Structure 1
Amino acid sequence: GAPPETPQKPAPGEKPAPPPPNALLSDGIQFGRLLCGKRDARRFVLSNRGVLPVKWRLAGLSALPRELRLSPEGGELAPRSDVAIEAEFVASEKKDVGCKFTLEVLDAQELQGVAHAFPIQVKGEAYRIETDVRFPTPGFNGIDFGLLRVVDSAAKPVVIRNTGKYAISYALAAKDKSKVKDLFAVEPAAGSIEPGKEATVQVHFNRDKTLRRELALVSNADLVLSIVEPLTDAKEEAVPVNVSVRAVFSKYAITPGRGINFGPVTYNTSSKPKTFEITNLGEFAFDFALFKHGDVEPVPSEAALAAGKGGGKGAPPGGSLALGQFTVEPATGRVEPGGRREVSVVFKAEGARVYAEVLGIAVGERDFGDAPGGVPYEVSGESCIPGIAASNVDAIFEEHTVSAALDPAGAVANEYGRRERVFNFGAVVADLAVPRGGG
């Protein structure tokens, strides 16, 4: 207690003077609320401003709950001196704590008994942060985005319910050193939840579509939900949010792989159709579009939509593509997983020349590094005009001897002379056999 500013010296055996009004005596020791597992301490000072020593003690401590401790519990206080008494509150289980003890002051010889008794109240509350976190996939302690394409984005909700007595704060974010941190976005990333209320947090995967490679995460724990005590702004609980996701590209095969060669075709006619196949080796259906290689690669899904709108009533499914002397059909289409699509090519021969074109095949959602301008595929054919080649002597007599002129003195059998324009068969034995039935 605090003594009067001008203390009077008491007679021997006289009771110590009572202290003036004090907040400790009127309000007691207020610990407020304390999270379970935490400790808190309060100190108050007992001062002797008199000229004689006094004794003091804390009575009723045996009735205090085990969560409270006070020390020291008593002693002698010399004139003009102080002693600090510490009260400690250890929050071990969820409960309200309220009790009283008595500060007793005696003369040093204890001749007068208890001179003054001051009841002091102690109050505190031990509480827990209690939450219920619900994930979208039953039985999985986290978020399972399942199977996606690399170009896809997805969002899943996480519901946080505050089942405790007081408001809490939360923060959901990826670890600073996470290699997949940029693939996830949380909205809202932080907030507060009142008692009995809940907050829904959306976790986005590849929201900005920055993923450029295939990815497989199985129960990845780089996302962490932190529960924060608003009073101290301290993270009291960290809940790992396991994330599973697999993102894949379209897989395909084109056969035959070396292109199509029609060979010679009579001019002013169309060849019989030749085909190649586009096979889906992946896990998702994909769209494809055919175009002239070197032009801007179309987006297959958009090209298919445009063909369906503008093809007209009689247009074949997927439309057709005219590429020089070649007609390719269908120009667009979709191939289901494990399926295949046959593409027909027809060559229209004109004149006497060789034709070749490079077809571009756009396969939707394939690897970004796989033929960025479209998969090239060559088609070729030769238009021929029928006739007899009479001027190319070397080609006509390629299996015989061709000379500048025939030599009368030494004729060579099976020889063609350019000057004479004569082919010499050489000596031939006459057939002298008499025809059957002759006379």
Structure 2
Amino acid sequence: VRDSEGLRDPTEAGHVTVQAETFAVEAVVEPDPRETPLDFGTVLVNSSSTRTFDIVNCGRFTIRYKLSVRRALRDFISVDHPSEEIPKGEKRTITVSCTPTKLVEVPPERDGLLLQLFDTISKESVEHKIPPIRVGVYALYNSFQVTPPRGVNFGPVEKGEKQSRTFSFRNVGIFPFEWCLFDYADPPTFGEDGRPTQPTANLRAGPFFMNKASGKLEPDQEEEVEVVFEASGDQDYDSKIAIWVDGVQGDDSGTSSFPGTSAYLLTGQSCIPGINTTELQTIFEEQFFARTLEDAVSIVGRPDVRVFCEADRIFSFGPVLAAGGRGGPNSV
């Protein structure tokens, strides 16, 4: 101890004790990202899947963490708590959601989440040995196959008769899906989720009746639908129905008002039985046809021509040898 002016020598020596403590920010991620990536596997487009991991504070003081998603993944990867404090000895369970809106292919070998740790006393970022967390995901649409692919044609059916045909569609994807049929002329109401609100068990579209109109298909499962055509009158019929499948990619040009649907055409011809006696070219479609016999000979350039003469209403076999047993003109 000395006077403030320093005029005299110290009369008594004093001792000051200085103490300091060092500490390290210690944290681990469970499971270890070196061994286990955050793999979402295969996900249906427009659906959501979640995975979790833990951040454990192994140190003596409270720490703060911050998680950042790689730029290329930010459209479909989100973290529920990207930044929080963790008291000593505690852990935080982090939930990561994957909601793809298009086809995505991210192999699990690529970095996805970056972890930063902060000292809550100095507020400074500290170095750590935790590597970036790898993220993997494959996003796909549902897919199906219809047989026959474009529609069902019944051809001519006699008035008052019924004929049945079948078509089938198969789930050729890896996810189960719901399906339904409806008539474009009388569509159902769709909910906010894009699904028909009240699918029906069967369907009638004009003169066509289908015994099944909704259901669910597991992967590689096939559904067969019977279509009955009831012929009525003397006319052609066609009805365009929609096949709606949940989770398929886009829609075709003719169904833009109903996403997730594919058009399917049903056609049939109702006929009244009768004998055609007026359309002579149709009756003699496999024979030579001319207005008169003279015209036929002039066209062919020889008399031995077999021809139907429209003006004379005669089918001529032309000159035939008497030994042939048949010949001469024959009336129709």
TM class, shorter-chain normalised? 0.7 to 0.9
Larger RCO, structure (CA 8 Å, separation 6 or more): 2
Deviation at 1:126, TM superposition (A): 1.6
Q: Which residue of 2 aligns with 1:141?
A: 36
**Structure-2 change in CA distance of 1:232 and 1:326 (3 Å):** same
1:272-291 aligned at under 5 Å gives the runs 273-291=164-182
State yes or no: 1:390 paired with 2:277. yes
Deviation at 1:144, TM superposition (A): 2.6
Match of 1:145, SS state, is: strand
State yes or no: 1:127 paired with 2:56. no
Deviation at 1:180, TM superposition (A): 0.8
Question: Number of residues paired by the alignment?
Answer: 308
Q: Which residue of 1 aligns with 2:329?
A: none
8 Å CA contact retained: 1:167, 1:194: yes
Deviation at 1:402, TM superposition (A): 3.8
- 1:259 & 1:182 partners in 2: Cα distance? 39
8 Å CA contact retained: 2:166, 2:224: yes
Q: Deviations over 1:131-171 (max 9, x none)?
A: 24324x99953423233211211233332232321111111
- 2:132 & 2:185 partners in 1: Cα distance? 50
Q: CA RMSD in A?
A: 3.5
TM-score, length-scaled by structure 2: 0.78
Match of 2:282, SS state, is: helix
State yes or no: 1:339 paired with 2:229. no
TM-score, length-scaled by structure 1: 0.61
8 Å CA contact retained: 1:278, 1:340: yes
1:240 to 132, 135, 139: 132
Match of 2:46, SS state, is: coil
Moved more, 362-371 or 411-420: 411-420
8 Å CA contact retained: 1:274, 1:346: yes
State yes or no: 1:360 paired with 2:251. no
- 1:133 & 1:348 partners in 2: Cα distance? 68
Q: Deviations over 1:108-131 (max 9, x none)?
A: xxxxxxx76442322111212222
**Structure-2 change in CA distance of 1:302 and 1:162 (3 Å):** same
Match of 1:395, SS state, is: helix
8 Å CA contact retained: 1:216, 1:244: yes
Identity of paired residues, percent?
Answer: 28
Whichever residue aligns with residue 122 of structure 1, its letter is V
State yes or no: 1:224 paired with 2:114. yes
Whichever residue aligns with residue 103 of structure 2, its letter is R
- 2:275 & 2:118 partners in 1: Cα distance? 95
**Structure-2 change in CA distance of 1:227 and 1:294 (3 Å):** farther
Match of 2:139, SS state, is: strand
Q: Which residue of 1 aligns with 2:264?
A: 377
Q: Which residue of 1 aligns with 2:160?
A: 268
Whichever residue aligns with residue 9 of structure 2, its letter is A
Whichever residue aligns with residue 168 of structure 2, its letter is E
- Greater radius of gyration (CA): 1
8 Å CA contact retained: 2:293, 2:307: no
1:150-169 aligned at under 5 Å gives the runs 150-169=45-64
Match of 1:179, SS state, is: helix
Structure 2: unaligned runs, 5 residues or longer: 326-332
- 2:158 & 2:2 partners in 1: Cα distance? 123
Q: Deviations over 1:304-363 (max 9, x none)?
A: x734xxx6xxxxxxx222122222231112221122111222222112222222222122
Deviation at 1:421, TM superposition (A): 4.5
Structure 1: unaligned runs, 5 residues or longer: 9-15, 19-114, 312-318, 433-439
8 Å CA contact retained: 1:412, 1:426: yes
Higher strand proportion: 1
- 1:188 & 1:401 partners in 2: Cα distance? 87
Whichever residue aligns with residue 190 of structure 1, its letter is S
